[in-house]
Amino acid sequence: MNRASRKNKSAWRKNIDITDVDTFLEEQRQDERVGHIADKSNDDLFCLDVSKNSPKSNLKSIRKKKFAERPKSLSSLENASKVSDPIVKRNIISNASKLSLLAKKEAKSKERKFPSRALKKTQQLKDIWEEEDSSLGELKNEWFNENVVLHHLKQTGKPKVKVADSTHAKPYEIPNVELPAGGISYNPSIDDYNTLKQAIIEKEKQKIKAERHLDRVITQKFGVMSKEQRDKQVLMEMSEGLFDQEEKEVVTNEDEEDYAAINLPVENKKKDRRARNRKTREIAKRNAKVSLDIELKKLKDINRMAELNGDINKKQKITKRKQENRTVRLEEKRKMPGRVAYLKFEEAEPDFAEPADLTDSLRGLVSSRSLLADRYKSFQKRTLIAPKKYRDGIPRSNRSTLKKWKRYVLDSHKEI
């Protein structure tokens, strides 16, 4: 090596041993990546083994720990090197003003490239439901009626649709799930059970009363007739006018004139001046009497002010009571089921157990109604589906079939 050439760089690299320099630099880079041992603290270098005394970790803590850790699938993206960035100053813009300027430049370049896709300068995106119309600012005044405002907006090209209050109102206030009565429980209290029993008794009384009313006004109005009497009556009614009846003799008087006028002809007799003056005086006298009666009635009404005020107050009270009753009826109607189809909603029979069937535990309880049937009735009551009648499991929606249901039993299915 003493006689080696050192004329250029290639000779220096070829004939000079720099292994110690490379080893030193490699160790320095390794310390930069991992960190020098002298710079680390004792907590990083040493750890206290307490695995024997620590409690066993359960499955919940293990899952919670895994959830907090970084996924292994992203471990390749993590930079494990601790080498500092050699370029301290990079072109990273963090200023908001500079970022807005860059965004505007990009938007302008897109407008030049794609002019059809660019938004107009005056066009701005806004939420029409949250923001109120600015045109109503000047028109919100006590001097402007609501109809005047709507008409003005319609004529100026900014119409405002007047939505009725009933558009978004719920037609019926029937709850989705109704709480059952306390007497339906498998072990009810005495008061709840008696209340439920009394309500069922009242409903049965109303049904019996309606049946008796129909029997009294319809069934009992028709008399009982035998089959022979009915056939005879039908024959008489159907043969009416088929047989010739005896001709009645018509007696005519030849002495009477052929034609006689009922009303005599009116003569166009003109009234003279004296008659016309008399009629004018009668009309004036009658008008004066009418005006005198009106004035006298006014004087009488003035003396009857207390009585008239009492009548007015009475009528106002009656009107107010009628309005209150109408409001109560409307509220009760909203709580009643509506009608959306040909058939009317029929309430299900209430659950009621006899005292002997009551049990003090759920083990001996027998369910009388199905949950599916209860939900189906609830849908019908809330007018979500139309009520239908079923025969042998087949729904009948046609009106003609509803009225003409007939049941037949085959000869092969008759009971012997």
In sequence order, what are the residues at sequence separation of 6 or more whose Cβ sits closer than 8 angstroms to the Cβ of residue 5?
11, 15
pLDDT category at 353 given cuts 50, 70, 90 is confident
CA gap 186, 304 in Å, rounded: 69
DSSP code per residue over 31-81: HHHH--GGGS-HHHH-----TTTSPPP-HHHHHHHHHHSPPGGGGGGS---
Token pair in block for residue 286: 């009658």
CA gap 263, 257 in Å, rounded: 16
Helix axis angle, 273-303 to 305-334, nearest 10°: 80
Mean of the pLDDT values across residues 301-320?
93
pLDDT of residue 116: 57
Count of domains in the chain? 2
pLDDT of residue 294: 94
Asked if residue 378 lies in contact with residue 333, where contact means CB atoms within 8 angstroms, the answer is no
* pLDDT above 80 for 310: yes
Q: Which residues of 157-192 are buried (b: 16+ CB within 10 A; e: fewer)?
A: eeeeeeeeeeeeeeeeebeeeeeebebbeeebeeee
pLDDT category at 156 given cuts 50, 70, 90 is confident
Question: What single-letter amino acid sits at 142?
Answer: E
Residue 390 dihedral angles phi and psi, to the nearest 5° = -120, 140
Q: Which of 138, 155, 172 is the last residue of a domain?
A: 155
DSSP code per residue over 136-157: GTTT-STTS-HHHHHHHHHHTT
Q: For residue 325, what are the CA distances in angstroms to 260, 314, 334?
A: 66, 16, 14
* pLDDT above 70 for 413: no
* pLDDT above 90 for 320: yes
pLDDT category at 246 given cuts 50, 70, 90 is low
pLDDT of residue 313: 95
* Closest of 381, 388, 385, 393 to residue 343, by C-alpha: 388
Residue 109 covered by a domain: yes
Taken in order 356, 362, 365, 371, the sign of the CA dihedral is positive
Pure H helices in 371-412: 371-381, 399-403
* pLDDT above 90 for 286: yes
CA gap 185, 193 in Å, rounded: 9
pTM, full prediction? 0.42
Residue 18 covered by a domain: yes
pLDDT of residue 185: 83
| Tally of CA atoms within 13 A in the half-sphere of 102 that contains its CB | 8
Q: How much of the chain exceeds pLDDT 90, in percent?
A: 22
Domain span holding position 117? 97-121+129-155
* pLDDT tens string 196-231: 999 999 999 999 999 999 999 998 888 888 899 999
Question: What single-letter amino acid sits at 55?
Answer: P
Residue 263 covered by a domain: no
Instruction: Check residues 176 and 164 and name the one with the higher pLDDT.
Output: 176
Residue 8 covered by a domain: yes
Pure H helices in 140-226: 146-155, 190-217
* pLDDT tens string 88-106: 676 666 666 777 787 888 7
* Closest of 84, 80, 85 to residue 34, by C-alpha: 80
pLDDT of residue 14: 79
Token pair in block for residue 314: 């009475």
* pLDDT above 90 for 195: yes
pLDDT category at 297 given cuts 50, 70, 90 is very high
Which of 28-32, 49-53, 281-285, 337-341 is predicted most confidently?
281-285
Strand, coil or helix: 396 = strand
Residue 140 covered by a domain: yes
pLDDT category at 319 given cuts 50, 70, 90 is very high
pLDDT of residue 132: 56
